[in-house]
Structure 1
């Protein structure tokens, strides 16, 4: 297997775009090569099989959705209030919808995981760890609410993001923003 990290990353990013555009059935090495603008056969030199490509695409989506140290640092500088949680949730929904192809690719990966036990195992571990990281951050930062608060926000906003990316006219941009605020106000206890 080839080891050029930049090329591998470009191929995985291309796989994410193929998943978002064509679904899991459209994810072939040839489609990834075409999307990445590389010679036919390149992806097959980097990934032993389609399953490996699927798993790395899932990992890469999480890497690209990570808010980064600057956003976390800004959050820690804010007061520990419901208003701060609301601001963070608006930022998160905006960040995720800005990388809509990544979220759509993750939905495709979730569907594919119902048929691929190894992919299901990897995604379950990744998503569980992501939720746990969010809970740890919330609790360690002293934000209002508990672990269940974070889990409920995760569940409510996840589906709102799906609506925004798949059928954006159901609620529209303004209503989506209002629903994020309403979810926070209903779920997060006042401080």
Structure 2
């Protein structure tokens, strides 16, 4: 396998775009090469097979979706409260909207994981680790609510963003920020 980290990253970013635009069935080495603007066959020099490509795409998505630790620290400066949880949920939604392609790619990976046990195992491990870190962070910061509060917020935001990105008219005249506020005020106890 070729060892050019910048090229590998470029191919993975192109693969994320293909995954988001064309779905898992459209994710081929040829499609990745075309999207990356490299000669046909380049991807196959970096990834031994499609499973390895899917696995590394998942890793790359999480790298791109992980916020800078300094941004997290700044976001957590205010005193713990329901209002801060609301601000954080809106911040997360804005970040994910800015990385819409990654988020849609992640949804496609979730669907593909239904058919690929190895991918499911890897994705489950990474998503569980992320959720566990969110629970720990919430509790360690003294935010209102318990571990289940964080889990319900996670599942609510995941579903809300799935619909917002895939069928945006579903919310009708409701604004995404307003829906997030409704979710937070119904789930998070007052401090």
For the superposition of Structure 1 and Structure 2, which TM-score range results when normalised by the shorter chain? Answer: over 0.9
Task: Give the distance between the partners of 2:63 and 2:173, measured in 1 at CA.
Answer: 26
2:170 aligns with 170
| 1:39-71 alpha-carbon deviations (Å, 9 max, x no partner) | 111100000000000011111111111121122
The alpha carbon displacement at 1:185 in A equals: 0.5
Segments of 5+ residues of structure 1 without an aligned counterpart are none
The question of whether the paired residues in 2 share the 8 Å contact of 1:164 and 1:172 is answered with no
Matched, 1:89 2:89: yes
1:43 aligns with 43
Instruction: Output aligned runs, 1:2-13, within 5 Å.
Output: 2-13=2-13
Task: Give the distance between the partners of 1:2 and 1:187, measured in 2 at CA.
Answer: 49
Task: Give the distance between the partners of 1:145 and 1:173, measured in 2 at CA.
Answer: 30
Task: Give the distance between the partners of 1:142 and 1:56, measured in 2 at CA.
Answer: 35
Q: Give TM-score, length-normalised by structure 2.
A: 0.97
Segments of 5+ residues of structure 2 without an aligned counterpart are none
| 1:82-128 alpha-carbon deviations (Å, 9 max, x no partner) | 00000000000111122111111111111111111000000000100
Q: Give TM-score, length-normalised by structure 1.
A: 0.97
Task: Give the distance between the partners of 1:101 and 1:75, measured in 2 at CA.
Answer: 24
Measured at CA, do residues 133 and 51 of structure 1 come closer, stay the same or move farther in structure 2, by a change above 3 Å? same
- Number of equivalenced pairs: 191
| SS, match of residue 190 in structure 2 | coil
Instruction: Output aligned runs, 1:49-128, within 5 Å.
Output: 49-128=49-128
The alpha carbon displacement at 1:174 in A equals: 5.1
